[in-house]
Amino acid sequence: MLSTHFFAFILSGLGAGLIAGMFGVGGGIIVVPVLLFLFHLEAIDPLITMQLAVGTSLATIVITNIAATWAHHQRDGVNWRLARLYLSGTIVGAMIGSQLAASISGARLVMLFGLFEIVVGIQMVRAKPPQPGAHRLPDAATPALGVVIGTISALFGIGGGTLSVPSLTLLSGLPMRQAVGTSSAIGTPLALIGAIGFVHAGWHHPALPADTFGFFHPLAFLGIVIGSLVTSHLGVRLAHALDQTLLKKGFGIFLLLLGIKLIWR
């Protein structure tokens, strides 16, 4: 049973790495639902499975985004000036989001996550190709937007790309491919701070299995990281080679169906 679950963790990591490289979203939007299912099979208390999935997802995103950021940087796909502007806000937001998630019931957090995936899926399907720079965000306001992105991202265990890519494109004037790379750079410290917050928030929780550290599952982390490192560079190459509009619409349909499944499971 242990080896079967570990293999499933690796498979989810393969998908997460591919998605992180292609869309700059960190892969958590796929990893969290998979972990929910696998933790259910392990008979982990449903009261804390969502928090455990989110905390573990954030930890894996740290590694996934480092690999994706480096690959994008080698292709001049990261705007480091904007990444630094977003950084202070996203770190504060990650602290807030991790503490909020720890205080919400697992069932309610699953419901919120399902609704979030539906909203993101609809937006990806309906969105027209972005027009960079249509509404430029002043540099002084960027950290405040980072707080919002960091809070929501840590709350749901994602890397922030579902929010930061549109922000970087529409409000900061970046072309799509550079927005994806910059989003990966922003998401790395966000995920690190969020993961630490989940470890701290769940450290003494009585319902946790013996092989966890707070809301962090080491075996799941290891399997997902192994898988994601294999495919993240492939995702980056696809991001620079394929039609992003078509890819986003297909991924949006997938997220829409996944969100519906989480709500009406």
The lowest-confidence range among 26-35, 47-56, 238-247 is: 238-247
Query: What integer pLDDT is reported at residue 104 of this predicted model?
Result: 81
Whole-angstrom distance, CA of residue 86 vs CA of residue 90? 6
Q: In the predicted model, what is the mean pLDDT of the chain?
A: 82
Which tops the pLDDT comparison, 128 or 138? 138
pLDDT digit string (tens) for 136-151?
A: 677 788 889 899 988 9
Torsion over CA: 69, 75, 80, 86 (sign): negative
Query: What integer pLDDT is reported at residue 265 of this predicted model?
Result: 58
Query: What integer pLDDT is reported at residue 42 of this predicted model?
Result: 85
For the cut 70, the answer to whether the pLDDT of residue 37 exceeds it is yes
Q: What are the Cα distances from residue 162, in Å, to 35, 40, 217?
A: 20, 26, 24
pLDDT-derived band at 26 (thresholds 50, 70, 90) equals low
pLDDT-derived band at 129 (thresholds 50, 70, 90) equals low
Amino acid identity at 19 = I
b vs e for 37-56, b when ≥16 Cβ sit within 10 Å of the residue's Cβ? ebbeeeebeeebbbbbbbbb
Query: What integer pLDDT is reported at residue 213 of this predicted model?
Result: 92
For the cut 80, the answer to whether the pLDDT of residue 83 exceeds it is yes
Phi-psi region of 189 (alpha: psi -120 to 50; beta: other; left: phi over 0): alpha
Torsion over CA: 224, 227, 230, 231 (sign): negative
pLDDT-derived band at 93 (thresholds 50, 70, 90) equals very high
pLDDT digit string (tens) for 184-220?
A: 889 889 989 989 999 998 888 888 888 899 999 999 9
In order, the DSSP letters of 113-179 are: HHHHHHHHHHHHHHPPPP-TTSSPPPGGGHHHHHHHHHHHHHHHT--SHHHHHHIIIIIS---HHHH
b vs e for 111-121, b when ≥16 Cβ sit within 10 Å of the residue's Cβ? ebbbebbbebb
For the cut 70, the answer to whether the pLDDT of residue 130 exceeds it is no
Whole-angstrom distance, CA of residue 193 vs CA of residue 190? 5
Amino acid identity at 215 = F
Q: What percent of the chain has pLDDT over 70?
A: 89
Whole-angstrom distance, CA of residue 115 vs CA of residue 61? 21
